[in-house]
Structure 1
Amino acid sequence: MTELNSPQQLAVAHESGPLLVFVGAGSGKTRVITFRVANLLALHQVPPYRILAVTFTNKAAGELKERLARLAGEAIVRDLWVGTFHSICVRLLRRYHEQVGLSRHFLIYDDSDQKALLGRIIKAEKLSDREYPPRVVLSRIHVHKREGRGPDDIKLTPNFDGNMVELYRKYQQALRAADAVDFEDLLVLGTQLAESDSPAGRDLRQRFDHVLVDEFQDTNQIQYRLVRALAASTQNLCVVGDDDQSIYSWRGADVRNIRGFRKDFPGAQVVKLEQNYRSSANIVAAALGVIERALEREPKQLFTQQPAGDPVRIRGVLDEKEEARSVVMGIATELQQGTDAREIAIFYRTHAQSRVLEGELRARNISYQIIGGTKFFDRAEVKDLLSYLRLIMNPRSDADLLRVVNTPTRGIGNKTLEALMDVARDLGVSLFDAIRSPALEKKLSKRACQALLRFHELIVGFRAEMDQLHADELAEQVLERSGYVEALKKQDTAEADARLENLQETVGSIREYLLEAEHLGQEPTLEAYLERVALIADVDSMQDQAPSVVLMTVHAAKGLEFEVVYLTGMEEGVFPYRGMDGDRDELEEERRLAYVALTRARRSLTLTHASQRMLFGRTEPRSPSRFLSDIPKEVAEEQGLGRRFGVNSLGGYSGRVDPYARRQDYDDFNQDVDYAGTTARGRMVSRSHAQPRGSGGRSSWQEVRSRMLGTAAGEPAAESSDEGRWVDTEAFDDVGDEAMDLRWMRPGARVYHERFGKGVIREVKPETPPRIVADFGGFGVRTVLATKLNRTAR
């Protein structure tokens, strides 16, 4: 305990009752959780099997177990309940499977399985996958699941119509018929079980003396309900998190959980960990400058006793190519100076930004890995092998059968499969069982039936041997006897060789799991291995031993740290992302995301912004991110083209701006730059000096707003001050009358938004530019730019 600071000691020593620990970035969060669990075990003699610690990634759970093993011993750690929300729910559902209508060997469908299943349902319902894209429909179904709504609980909206309700119903029926669940089901069923008045529910609520939750700011409502239920008998619920790092609202995370914890638990003790042990003083100051401008946050004053270190570099460049060259040159220098490649990271807001960076890294022969790209277990050949294994374990899984029944080719075509699906649907059985149905012989040729029967016999044979073979041996048998290996060898190409290597690596991963399970005293089963693979996250697949520079989105960087960080694309419309449409809550989250990015760096932090960038096939002028203006000039160093964007010589931007005043995407700052040395045309002006022009058939935003509101063009309207905003006085707007005729927009009008789908207008806001408040059903009520909406008839 002496190695902990005072607030850390307070959090560790708290004996009973609810505990809320606010943890600043780099403040020793994992150490506190580790010592708290060790303290409960040693000092308070709490049995390990009565302690539950929940994390968000397998990597975090593994690190916690390793630290606890060093403190308390491996034997004790084996009995602890430590894992992600999903893995804990799997464990609960395996134990109480009958209570939720599943077999003990139920399958977990990953994203691609879910999309394939829903795609087949959409086709069977004779709906257009353009009007009902599987990915979009799934996303909306998941929103309803997270909020506890089944198909019968949904109120129809333009964004979730009757067809979608029926798709949701058929999707759930298909999952249950396959004895499968998706990731949302794991949480929903686990929570329903824990909250139920059944013997299983009562048992679960009495099972744990202490419940600890890491990264509590990232929990959604269903996850919060789960841990509250599991801690109900003792109220010994310890939650650890930082509202400043809540960045996952798009997948259901609700920052209100951590901010409202004291209301839910009035007697909760609150501890704040504010000392940063990770980053240099300059990096901490830069991050604080950004997050302190947040509109709503728990007051925290991050500090460090580390040296000031190098200034934070703010580097202006011409375009994404120059940005990539600049970043990679800096990395090459770091490598020459002995920095471990694994300690260097490049962050970007969207995956699309990685292409040019990857090209430059390859050109300089610098090894790299991408986190969040195509994961190893998402590769086609790997998924094929896993589907074989899952089908062997559970023949009711239609999704797995459809994936491998003709892989490698067995002469089983689409018409054969359509007939098989018709028979299975008519009889109410699985596809596997339908293969042996006499009804199938009436629909198919003898040759087609024989091909299906041979496949059926192959799977039955594997099932008969499943209990006699180790999981890795079974996998090898599948690859050989299915003809998969032989088919790849016949191709005799470099790609086929690479696929064979991936399959060998998969078998190797099964062996690795078997050894690890044996070492931990666990029963090594095929079921447990498949479950483990299904729950792997992007960050869990990081190659710890590979000496490679790491590329990832900022979202993927959460929870990680690096010696050297390059944060690219710090421009308006890129970061903050242009898709935020000025929504204040989303801009707040973008600010928190920037804070997370900055606090990943220990020693060196470089932020780059380009004057123009090609993204999604379009090259457009760019202005510096509003977040750069919040970095104190005393800790920053301007490099490159910075001055041409209004940056003063010390690196601080010339004048504070309203961080939530909407900036016209790339119109307010038109970079008319002579790269030989002249200054950009854009400058800081007050509203009185920035009258938008309306000539040559073009319309000003004021005229557009007047048409919408039915007022005269010169009539004043209430609006927020634009004092201190970047504007281009010569080209304030560039929108035509026809494109901007929005007079049809009235409350009740039906609209369509590219991101949120169908909606209904609730309010027209008299602003410049005009905004619309619309109800987008499952996505809620949103405020968006009028120009982002299209009119729809229904």
Structure 2
Amino acid sequence: MSAMDFLDKLNPGQRKAVTAQDGPVLVVAGPGSGKTRVLTQRIVYLIANQGVRPWQILAVTFTNKAAKEMGERVKAIINEQAIEGMMIGTFHSICARILRRESEHLPLESNFVIFDSDDQQSLVKSIIREMNLNEKLYRASSVHAAISRAKNDLIFPDDYPINTYRDEVVKRVYTEYQKRLIASNAVDFDDILVYTARLLEENPVVRDKYAQRFRHVLVDEFQDTNLAQYALVKHLASHHKNIFCVGDPDQSIYAWRGADYRNIRRFEQDFPDAQTVLLEQNYRSRQNILDVAMGVIDRAQNRRKKRLFSDRGAGEKIFFYEARDDFGEASFVVDTIAQLVASGEFEPKDCAVMYRTNAMSRLIEEAFLQARLPYKLVGAQRFYGRREVKDVIAFLRLVHNPSDEAALGRVINIPPRGIGEKTLTTLHMVARQNNVSAGAILLDLARGAESPHYKSFTGRAAIPLSDFGGLLSNWIAYSKTETVPELFDRILRDVNYKEYIVDDNSEESLDRWENVQELKRLAMEYSTRTMDEFLENVALVADQDTITDSNAPTLLTLHAAKG
């Protein structure tokens, strides 16, 4: 099937969007209106019909899954060679690529590491303690959230606005936090976007290089972009002005992490000549569902009204039940599912229970347990959040970048080797006195008594530090010639990691080792690729929920369902 044949299968709104003339285009896509199809077909149309080269196209998504799906759909229509060089990915993955290429303009080396959420919280917590702040008044999570919001709004430490004493404290922590990240040759997730936005803003040569390359910039889920992300796409489209954004402000659910639905309004102000296309035909739901949804959202002010319609018929009426209390609500939900399954018309896995916050799942879970019915809980576990997985990744990060303070703090005493908090504090103090990283001191201590820093520690502390420094030095040497999985195995073997976590052959211990083996399977995919790529993928990959294929109802938040 040719690209042009495929256009015949689009509805009028979709076709109008896909074949829009050059220039800024805003596609307001209602739920279930085929926006992924429109984005995919737009790419195919540009390459097959407009003669645009693949490497001149940038397509930005919010999840790795969406990026992968978009690429596969395009390949299914035109051959793989025809899209070679096209850049499809998440905001973070694309920006990380740009930063590594342009590291000479940054206060970082090109092998910078990406601190995950736990690393960031841990760093903020240590700064709060060192500043002798009241940890109950200034919780690390709260202070870090304020820093993250500032970054999303492109506010740097020096420009952080002070209206209260708390703001002053946050500014001090933010300033030190940023210094520590740079000292560790590290960035957090927000930095990846902020550094890129600032680089494109302040360096016209770099900006023009990418803006001239990308003749067409396409953005998915535009309503979920924050200010930094909007600034990025605006800069990247600044030369050709061919920016194609697909979104729906009615579906914006990520305000809590900086998303700003007003970006759609900014887009219209910044590109007054933009073409706007409405996608109103829904392929997912029946008309009654759409009418109820519109009845709710139409009450919102300052929005562009849409009239969603479906060719799938009216469907069943919505059933509304008002329970006496939350216990009655949970019982009704479980009883209804039990009746649906007992009728033989539905399988348990055909049912889902959605709620606003995770805390609301408790009573529903208890109702399922009391009824002796199984259920699946989405969001309960994260693979990359498990202790043993984070340990191994931290070892690899430390070898890749010995300045990585968070990784060093995590694994320096894993398995236990007699390096306590007091020794660690002394190590950091010696590092600061010598204006180098703690990792650099550790590597020098590998020389034993010949190191000028050896006498800064008691004999009891110096020996394990020297031993670990020796291990780290060897791993760094081996990393020059060994593949990612080979180095992975060497580190685990050298520290006897399996014996450390499988200490009692219990089911829990074996499960932990299985998690390490699962990470090893991922590492095997990087046998011919670099540690940079492996660590970047691990840091950026979307958290995966451990859902089995068991035949059970699914419990999840509305955010999880939308995401």
User: What TM-score does the superposition give when structure 1 sets the normalisation length?
Assistant: 0.66
Q: Name the aligned partner's letter for residue 514 of structure 1.
A: Y
The 2-side partners of 1:262 and 1:391 are apart by 46
Q: Offset of 1:341 from its aligned partner?
A: 5.7
Q: Name the aligned partner's letter for residue 347 of structure 1.
A: M
Q: Offset of 1:267 from its aligned partner?
A: 1.0
Question: Following superposition of structure 1 onto structure 2, how do residues 216-231 of structure 1 map, counting pairs within 5 Å?
Answer: 216-231=222-237
Partner of 1:612: none
The 1-side partners of 2:66 and 2:312 are apart by 25
Q: Name the aligned partner's letter for residue 82 of structure 1.
A: I
Instruction: Report if aligned partners of 1:420, 1:440 keep a CA contact under 8 Å in 2.
Output: no
The 2-side partners of 1:276 and 1:550 are apart by 24
Partner of 2:389: 382
Q: Name the aligned partner's letter for residue 530 of structure 2.
A: T
Partner of 1:477: 490
Q: Which one of the candidate residues 427, 433, 445 is aligned to 1:420?
A: 427
The 2-side partners of 1:364 and 1:461 are apart by 57
| 1:392 maps to 2:399 | yes
Q: Name the aligned partner's letter for residue 556 of structure 1.
A: A
Partner of 2:3: none
Q: Offset of 1:343 from its aligned partner?
A: 4.9
Q: Which one of the candidate residues 484, 487, 503 is aligned to 2:500?
A: 487
Relative to structure 1, the CA distance from residue 268 to residue 90 in structure 2 (aligned partners, 3 Å threshold; closer, same or farther) is same
Q: Name the aligned partner's letter for residue 135 of structure 1.
A: S
Q: Offset of 1:542 from its aligned partner?
A: 6.5
Q: Name the aligned partner's letter for residue 479 of structure 1.
A: L
| 1:514 maps to 2:518 | no
Instruction: Report if aligned partners of 2:376, 2:554 keep a CA contact under 8 Å in 1.
Output: yes
The 1-side partners of 2:81 and 2:366 are apart by 48
The 2-side partners of 1:414 and 1:324 are apart by 47
Partner of 2:113: 107
Question: Following superposition of structure 1 onto structure 2, how do residues 121-160 of structure 1 map, counting pairs within 5 Å?
Answer: 121-158=127-164, 160=166
Relative to structure 1, the CA distance from residue 334 to residue 475 in structure 2 (aligned partners, 3 Å threshold; closer, same or farther) is farther
Instruction: Report if aligned partners of 1:196, 1:202 keep a CA contact under 8 Å in 2.
Output: no
Partner of 1:21: 27
| 1:372 maps to 2:385 | no
Q: Which one of the candidate residues 323, 332, 340 is aligned to 1:317?
A: 323
RMSD between aligned alpha carbons? Answer: 2.2
Q: Percent identity?
A: 41
Q: Name the aligned partner's letter for residue 241 of structure 1.
A: G
| 1:537 maps to 2:550 | no
The 2-side partners of 1:211 and 1:63 are apart by 18
| 1:501 maps to 2:514 | yes
The 1-side partners of 2:165 and 2:295 are apart by 39
Q: Secondary structure at the match of 1:148?
A: coil
Relative to structure 1, the CA distance from residue 73 to residue 342 in structure 2 (aligned partners, 3 Å threshold; closer, same or farther) is farther
The 1-side partners of 2:208 and 2:293 are apart by 46
The 1-side partners of 2:436 and 2:548 are apart by 45
Instruction: Report if aligned partners of 1:423, 1:439 keep a CA contact under 8 Å in 2.
Output: no
Q: Offset of 1:332 from its aligned partner?
A: 4.4
The 2-side partners of 1:402 and 1:528 are apart by 23
Partner of 1:550: 554
Instruction: Report if aligned partners of 2:379, 2:545 keep a CA contact under 8 Å in 1.
Output: no
Partner of 1:621: none
The 2-side partners of 1:182 and 1:338 are apart by 49
Partner of 2:529: 524
Q: Name the aligned partner's letter for residue 326 of structure 2.
A: E
The 2-side partners of 1:319 and 1:131 are apart by 35
Q: Secondary structure at the match of 1:491?
A: coil
Q: Secondary structure at the match of 2:502?
A: helix
Range that drifts further, 67-76 or 406-415: 67-76
Q: Offset of 1:254 from its aligned partner?
A: 1.4
Q: Offset of 1:543 from its aligned partner?
A: 4.8
Q: Offset of 1:43 from its aligned partner?
A: 0.6
Q: Which has the larger radius of gyration?
A: 1
Q: Offset of 1:367 from its aligned partner?
A: 5.1
Relative to structure 1, the CA distance from residue 158 to residue 26 in structure 2 (aligned partners, 3 Å threshold; closer, same or farther) is same
Q: Offset of 1:213 from its aligned partner?
A: 0.7
Relative to structure 1, the CA distance from residue 144 to residue 442 in structure 2 (aligned partners, 3 Å threshold; closer, same or farther) is same
Unaligned runs of 5+ in 2: 1-6, 446-450
Q: Name the aligned partner's letter for residue 526 of structure 2.
A: L
Q: Name the aligned partner's letter for residue 417 of structure 1.
A: L
Partner of 2:355: 348
| 1:308 maps to 2:314 | yes
Instruction: Report if aligned partners of 1:479, 1:485 keep a CA contact under 8 Å in 2.
Output: yes
Partner of 2:408: 401
Q: Name the aligned partner's letter for residue 509 of structure 1.
A: L
Listed one character per residue, the Cα deviations across residues 213-240 of structure 1 (whole Å, up to 9, x for unaligned) are 1111111111111101100111000111
Relative to structure 1, the CA distance from residue 69 to residue 340 in structure 2 (aligned partners, 3 Å threshold; closer, same or farther) is farther
The 1-side partners of 2:92 and 2:519 are apart by 23
Q: Name the aligned partner's letter for residue 354 of structure 2.
A: F
The 2-side partners of 1:488 and 1:58 are apart by 31
| 1:51 maps to 2:57 | yes
Listed one character per residue, the Cα deviations across residues 233-268 of structure 1 (whole Å, up to 9, x for unaligned) are 110001111111122222221111113422211111
Partner of 2:17: 11
Q: Name the aligned partner's letter for residue 103 of structure 2.
A: H
Q: Offset of 1:508 from its aligned partner?
A: 1.9
Range that drifts further, 423-432 or 193-202: 193-202
Q: Which one of the candidate residues 249, 257, 262 is aligned to 2:263?
A: 257
Question: Following superposition of structure 1 onto structure 2, how do residues 235-274 of structure 1 map, counting pairs within 5 Å?
Answer: 235-274=241-280
Listed one character per residue, the Cα deviations across residues 607-635 of structure 1 (whole Å, up to 9, x for unaligned) are xxxxxxxxxxxxxxxxxxxxxxxxxxxxx
Listed one character per residue, the Cα deviations across residues 457-509 of structure 1 (whole Å, up to 9, x for unaligned) are 11222222224333223222222221221112223333222211211122123
Partner of 2:4: none
The 1-side partners of 2:490 and 2:155 are apart by 43
Q: Secondary structure at the match of 2:319?
A: strand
Question: Following superposition of structure 1 onto structure 2, how do residues 272-671 of structure 1 map, counting pairs within 5 Å?
Answer: 272-332=278-338, 337=344, 339=346, 343-362=350-369, 368-435=375-442, 436=444, 438=451, 440-511=453-524, 513-514=525-526, 524-538=529-543, 541=545, 543=547, 549-559=553-563
Instruction: Report if aligned partners of 1:194, 1:205 keep a CA contact under 8 Å in 2.
Output: no
Q: Name the aligned partner's letter for residue 530 of structure 1.
A: L
Q: Offset of 1:385 from its aligned partner?
A: 0.8
Between Structure 1 and Structure 2, how many residues are aligned?
550
The 1-side partners of 2:548 and 2:38 are apart by 24
Q: Secondary structure at the match of 1:490?
A: coil
Instruction: Report if aligned partners of 1:480, 1:486 keep a CA contact under 8 Å in 2.
Output: no
Unaligned runs of 5+ in 1: 516-522, 560-794
The 1-side partners of 2:9 and 2:548 are apart by 28
Instruction: Report if aligned partners of 2:208, 2:239 keep a CA contact under 8 Å in 1.
Output: no
Q: Offset of 1:77 from its aligned partner?
A: 4.0
The 2-side partners of 1:409 and 1:147 are apart by 42
Instruction: Report if aligned partners of 1:440, 1:449 keep a CA contact under 8 Å in 2.
Output: no
Q: Offset of 1:362 from its aligned partner?
A: 4.8
Q: Name the aligned partner's letter for residue 129 of structure 2.
A: K
Relative to structure 1, the CA distance from residue 42 to residue 103 in structure 2 (aligned partners, 3 Å threshold; closer, same or farther) is same
Q: Secondary structure at the match of 1:206?
A: helix
The 2-side partners of 1:284 and 1:160 are apart by 45
Question: Following superposition of structure 1 onto structure 2, how do residues 640-789 of structure 1 map, counting pairs within 5 Å?
Answer: none
The 2-side partners of 1:173 and 1:230 are apart by 28
Instruction: Report if aligned partners of 2:58, 2:214 keep a CA contact under 8 Å in 1.
Output: yes
Instruction: Report if aligned partners of 2:224, 2:259 keep a CA contact under 8 Å in 1.
Output: yes
